[in-house]
Amino acid sequence: MRIWKFGDNVDTDQIIPAEYLTTGDAKKLAAHAFVKVRPEFATEVQEGDVIVASDNFGCGSSREHAPRALLGAGVCCVIAKSFARIFFRNSINIGLPLIEADVFDRIDETDQIEIRFDGGVIKNLTKNEEYSFKPLPEFMQNLLESGGLINYIKKQK
């Protein structure tokens, strides 16, 4: 698992620039994730990597393509001090786990971490530290475990 750090106000245009919105296919979108701000991301990101950011991650437009591109890239979770509300909801709806925690200055890109979503704990194995966060409500955890809202609804039938 690799940590990818981004600062404040990472907007959806930085996550996936508008000229690549010609598809909804997560893998195709992932090939262009962060291409203008961190070109190596799309080719180096691996399944299970985590993004750690500061304030207001996912601001900008309401496009669902941004969290979809991150899922397609294999990102297993985004941890940020705060999220734009529509990005937050879009992410949960498509099955991308998010954690609101002020850990930007405590986790480095070279650190190894473990996340316990139900217990609300991020364990930094490199620094032997633990950081707590408020777990998502149970119904949101159920959406994530189902792979998003559509899959959750399909399972209810």
Average pLDDT (5-23) is 95
Contact 74, 49 (CB under 8 A): yes
User: What's the mean pLDDT when you consider all of the chain?
Assistant: 94
Q: Which CATH class is domain 3-156?
A: alpha beta
Give the global pTM: 0.94
Is residue 157 pLDDT above 80, yes or no? no
* Helix extents (H) in 11-112: 12-15, 26-30, 41-44, 65-73, 85-94
- Pick the closest to residue 150 from 102, 61, 101, 90 (CA basis): 90
For the stretch 78-113, pLDDT in tens is: 999 999 999 999 999 999 999 999 999 999 999 999
Q: State residue 101's pLDDT score.
A: 97
Structure-token match 């189902």, residue found:
146
- Pick the closest to residue 9 from 70, 73, 53, 65 (CA basis): 53
For the stretch 44-61, pLDDT in tens is: 999 999 999 999 999 998
| Pairing outcome for strands 129-132 and 121-124 | antiparallel
